[in-house]
Amino acid sequence: KATIGGCEANTVENIKVAPYPPANAGPDSTICFGTSAQLHASGGTSYSWMPTFFLSNPNISNPIASPDRTMQYIVTVIDTLGCPKPVNDTVIVHVDKVIAIAIPTDTSVVIGEPLQLLATGGVFYLWSPSTGLNSTVIPNPIAYVTSDMVYYVRVSTLAGCFDTASVRVHFYNVEPDLFVPNAFSPNGDGLND
């Protein structure tokens, strides 16, 4: 209501309140080391990601993230068609890094001697070839070899990330024995030196 002197006027104004942009950085994800994740932000017309490390373009809604470690990304969303106030949301890209270790790396056995193998670094294990192994799906199988052999193990995680390692076994076709000479002659002739 407005009044000037003896004149009076009434008016009704409708005010539309624009809501804040519904910023959404998308769901958290897990990637294997050395791979990428596609980020998916929504809720506005302009996007800015922080930190900018390992991002293909920090100023778009869907950059590709290739971090070498677990990273938390914050997106700032602005809606130029509604409320221009910036709103943030966060997404975490977990990086699953697997390092397969198999021991012993190189070893020798004689006929009939069992060899304990051991792998570490993951949740699931797959040994190959299966020749001479008491199991191919455990981290610590026992091998009975009858020839030179290289065993490979694939170590993987729940996320499906994997790495491989190997064990080289040299086989001697002799009975286990211990030879102790009764005389030493360190004279360089190759006998009991």
**What's the rounded mean pLDDT across residues 106-131?**
94
**What's the rounded mean pLDDT across residues 142-154?**
95
Q: What SS3 state is found at 47?
A: strand
Q: How far is CA 55 from the centre of its chain?
A: 17
**How does the average pLDDT of the chain come out, rounded?**
89
The whole-number pLDDT of residue 150 equals 96
**Residue pLDDT, tens place only, 155-173:** 999 989 999 999 999 998 8
- How many C-beta atoms lie closer than 10 Å to residue 74's C-beta? 14
Residue ranges in the chain assigned as alpha helix (H): none
Looking at per-residue pLDDT, the higher value among 33 and 17 belongs to 33
Q: What is the dihedral of CA 59, 61, 62, 68, to 10 degrees?
A: 50
Q: Distances in Å between the alpha carbon of 3 and those of 8, 13, 14, 158?
A: 4, 17, 21, 75
- In this model, does residue 177 exceed pLDDT 90? no
Percent of the chain with pLDDT over 70: 91
The whole-number pLDDT of residue 121 equals 93
| Token pair recorded at residue 33 | 């080391």
Residues 6+ away with beta carbon under 8 Å from 133: 117, 127, 141, 142, 143, 151
- In this model, does residue 18 exceed pLDDT 80? no
Peptide bond into 104 cis (omega under 30): yes
Band the pLDDT of 178: cuts 50, 70, 90.
low
The whole-number pLDDT of residue 92 equals 98
The whole-number pLDDT of residue 152 equals 97
- In this model, does residue 179 exceed pLDDT 90? no
pTM of the model: 0.69
Band the pLDDT of 83: cuts 50, 70, 90.
confident
Work out the burial of residue 86: count CB atoms within 10 Å of its CB; fewer than 13 is exposed, 13-18 middle, 19 or more buried.
middle
**What's the rounded mean pLDDT across residues 65-84?**
92
The whole-number pLDDT of residue 14 equals 78
- In this model, does residue 77 exceed pLDDT 70? yes
**What's the rounded mean pLDDT across residues 134-142?**
97
